[in-house]
Each structure stands twice: as structure tokens, then as C-alpha cells.
Amino acid sequence: MIETRAKALGFDAFAVTRPDAVPELGERLSRWLEEGHHGEMAWMTDRSDQRAAPSALWDGVRSIVMLGLNAAPDADPLANLARKDRATIASYAQRRDYHEVIKGKLKEVGQLLSARSGASAKVFVDTAPVMEKPLAAAAGLGWQGKHTVLVSREFGNWMLLGAIFTAAELEPDAPGRDSCGSCRRCLDICPTDAFPAPYRLDARRCISYLTIEHEGPIPHEFRAAMGNRIFGCDDCLAVCPWNKFAEQAGEAKMAARADLASPPLAELSRLDDAEFRAFFAGTPIKRTGRDRFLRNVLIAIGNSGDLALAREAMRCLDDPAPVVRGAAVWACDRLLDDGRMRALANAHAARESDATVREEWRACSPLPCGEELELGVAPPDPTPASGTTPTLHPSPQGGGKRASFSA
């Protein structure tokens, strides 16, 4: 009855487990944290005792209902990666923020459960210290694939998860069985080599983490590999063979926005704070904030190999946010030749006050400003020969390391 209501509300999967169903939870979480794989996500350590054991979060919990909402994309999420002047946004983020959609539905199911059982219930989606994937696997919604995401035989790996903790004693379902076999497609496709081993993710290397959670400048080693992924990453999910059984998401509230399928990088790079908030209202992107988002867009511009986008990057050299200016320096360096970069350094670097942005200027090769920058002295005049026009000589990968000036 409660399951029927949950499905009528739009959930695609519903199953029950016990709070102590995964005894290895604490040990695995501790290892992940000790290895530093959570990066700057301090909130993962803050209440790790509660995350490791549902009964530490709420000692009244007797059963956990895990629910899944299918959010399978309607097109191949990898297809847009080849459109270098466009941005690729993870499929889930092209939709309404699932936290809001799922939470509303969970509350309804939780209230019904409480009314029927006479026992209290609490609902969680994503933000509480609850390990949703292992609990969903224990409840039988699927299994944790080698990419660590929950895979279902019915919906592939596109389900988004939510949990209801209840004081009612409910009959648990059988756990899911690992059906990855010898497959390792998700591990092999990862552009940043973020899996130190199957079933283990080093978030610090994951583009999803770098574009959404990481606050400062993106470490240089990952920038080229990001390509045009500006918010999240679907690569390891997109290649899972179990997706062949997944149908397109049916929940109307979770319909993907057509204008987020392949937005032009040039337009995104021009968003000010108010425009950013208006454009991304209701999506998960809004929470990341305009500056970090622009940083990601500029990395994609640097990877575009498209000289027409260099002017957008140059405009951002004057952005008020250091994290945007820093990424703009990198993008310019990728697209423009040494002479033009020296000219830009002459105009911008010597008056740069932020240490991280100065570091970006210093990292340009060959150093356009070198020690003079450290001393705060303007570098010698590097103006390129007059009458030159920039033309692009893309790298073999199409990544675009430099335009050069030709007469």
C-alpha cells in the first residue's frame, strides 16, 4: 500500500533494509576519509560517526525505506563532449534540483508510513549524514557498481536516491547482488583516473567534485582532461551496460531543460551574478555560485581550441573574482601565442593583487613576467610585432594549446 503510493508519487523503486544491515560501513567510510579521498568536503568528516551507523544518527530507527527516482537522460550524455564551443552539464543538473523534488515526495510517503504504523519517521535526501548507496544496495534496489554508484537491473545507474528512517519494524528485502562481473568500462573511461581501485573513488580527482565541490583554482593536472564538462560528469555512468534497460525519466517535475543540453560557452562566460541566479534558478547549479561556475566555463574555453572564445577569456581577466581571473589567465594561455600572452601579462599581471592569480600568470609558459612579477615591477615591454593577427594552430587532441601570430 505504501509502496503503491510511493510509486504513484513518481518513485520508481522502493525497498526496505535494517539500520545494521551493512556492518562494514564504518570501516569503509573511515578508510576513505583517512586516505583523504573526500578532499575538501569537510562535511563528510563532521558527523562521520552518524554517517557510519544510522542508529547513531537516530537511535529510534528500526527500519530504513530506500527509494529511487529514475533520472535517465533522453540522449547520450557523451555526445556533447565533442562540441568544444559548448558546455556539457551532467544530466541530473539539467533538471530541477532533485533535493527539492525528492524531499517533497519523501515527506508524503513518510507521513503515510507514520499514519499507518503509528511510528515516527524522518526523511533524508543527500545532505544528511546517511550513506544512501550502501543502504539502497542492502535494501535490494541494486548494487554498488565499480564506479561506486548504485546500479539497478531495471534502471541502470540513473536513479537518484532518498531514505526514510522509521521506528516501525518493517520486513527487510533481500540485498542486491553485484552483477558487474569482469566489466570495467566505468573505470577505464574516467578522464582523470579517479578510481584507485574498483569500488573506490578518490573524489579529489573526480570532475564532479572538482567542478561542484572544490572551491579554489582547479589543480592544473586535471584541467585539460575536463574538456567541456563544466558541472558534474556523467562519463562513468554513461558507459554502464546495465543502462540498456533504463527508460527515459518519467517524472514530469524532473524533465530536462532543453537550454541546458548544450549551452554556448561564450554566453555562459558573460553571466553576472544576478543573471546566473536567474538562469539557473531551481537547478542544482545555482548552489555552486557564479564565480566557481565561471571558473569551470573558462577551463572549458581554454580546452575549446576556439580562438573566437579567446576574447571572452580576455574579458574575464578583469573579473572581480580572483578564481575567475585565474582561470581566465589559463584559458588565454591555452588559446593565445606567447607574444600575445606577454602583452596581456604586461597589461594585467603586474597590477594583480591576488596571490593565486599571480601564480597563474607565473605558470604561463614561457614565463611572461617571471621574477619581475614577484617584485611587483612591470615586465619589459613585450608588445608583439605590429600588424599581426592571431590564428589558431590546434593541438593534435584538438585541445588548442596556443594560437600563434602570423603576419
Peptide bond into 366 cis (omega under 30): yes
Span of 56-64, 140-148, 351-359, 366-374 interacting with ligand B12 by CB under 6 A: 140-148
Closest CB 351 distance from ligand B12, rounded Å: 36
Which residues touch 379 (CB under 8 Å, ≥6 apart)? 342, 345, 346, 349, 350, 368, 369, 370, 372, 373
Catalytic residue, candidates 126, 178, 193, 338 = 126
Q: Is 377 helix (H, G, I), strand (E, B) or coil?
A: coil
Closest CB 157 distance from ligand B12, rounded Å: 5
Which residues touch 193 (CB under 8 Å, ≥6 apart)? 205
Indicate whether 235 belongs to the interface with ligand B12 (CB under 6 A).
Answer: no
What the block records as the C-alpha cell of 109 is: 510517503
- Selected from 61, 101, 113, 131, the binder of ligand B12 by CB under 6 A is 131
Relative to beta strand 63-70, strand 13-17 is antiparallel
> What does the binding site for ligand SF4 look like in residue numbers (CB under 6 A)?
145-147, 151, 180, 183-186, 190-192, 194, 201, 206-208, 233, 235-236, 239-242
Distance CA 254, CA 69 (A): 10
Nearer to ligand B12, 29 or 345 (CB): 29
Nearer to ligand SF4, 200 or 270 (CB): 200
Distance CA 208, CA 158 (A): 15
Indicate whether 209 belongs to the interface with ligand B12 (CB under 6 A).
Answer: yes
Q: Which residue is nearest to ligand SF4 (CB)?
A: 145
Question: By CB under 6 A, how many residues form the interface with ligand B12?
Answer: 37
What are the residues facing 389 on neighbouring strands? Answer: 406
Query: Is 126 designated active site?
Result: yes
The CA distances from residue 392 to 200, 302, 306, 376, 398, in Å, are 40, 13, 8, 32, 11
Positive or negative torsion for Cα 46, 48, 53, 54: positive
What the block records as the C-alpha cell of 154 is: 531495471
Indicate whether 249 belongs to the interface with ligand B12 (CB under 6 A).
Answer: no
What are the residues facing 165 on neighbouring strands? Answer: 64, 122
Residue ranges in 304-363 that form contacts with ligand B12 under rule CB under 6 A: none
Indicate whether 132 belongs to the interface with ligand B12 (CB under 6 A).
Answer: yes
Query: With CB cut-offs between 5 and 8 Å by kind, which of ligand B12, ligand SF4, none does residue 180 bind?
Result: ligand SF4
Indicate whether 233 belongs to the interface with ligand B12 (CB under 6 A).
Answer: yes
DSSP secondary structure code for residue 243 in this structure: G
Q: What are phi and psi of 156, to 5 degrees?
A: 60, -145
Positive or negative torsion for Cα 363, 368, 369, 370: positive
- Selected from 5, 103, 153, 200, the binder of ligand B12 by CB under 6 A is 200
Residue type, 329: V
Query: With CB cut-offs between 5 and 8 Å by kind, which of ligand SF4, ligand B12, none does residue 132 bind?
Result: ligand B12
Q: Which residue is associated with the grid cell 573579473?
A: 319
Closest CB 209 distance from ligand SF4, rounded Å: 7
Query: With CB cut-offs between 5 and 8 Å by kind, which of ligand B12, ligand SF4, none does residue 304 bind?
Result: none
- Selected from 84, 122, 147, 342, the binder of ligand B12 by CB under 6 A is 147
Residues belonging to the active site: 126
* Contact residues for ligand B12, defined by CB under 6 A: 25, 28-29, 32, 41, 90, 92, 125-126, 130-134, 144, 147-150, 157, 159-161, 199-201, 203, 206, 208-209, 212-213, 232-234, 236-237
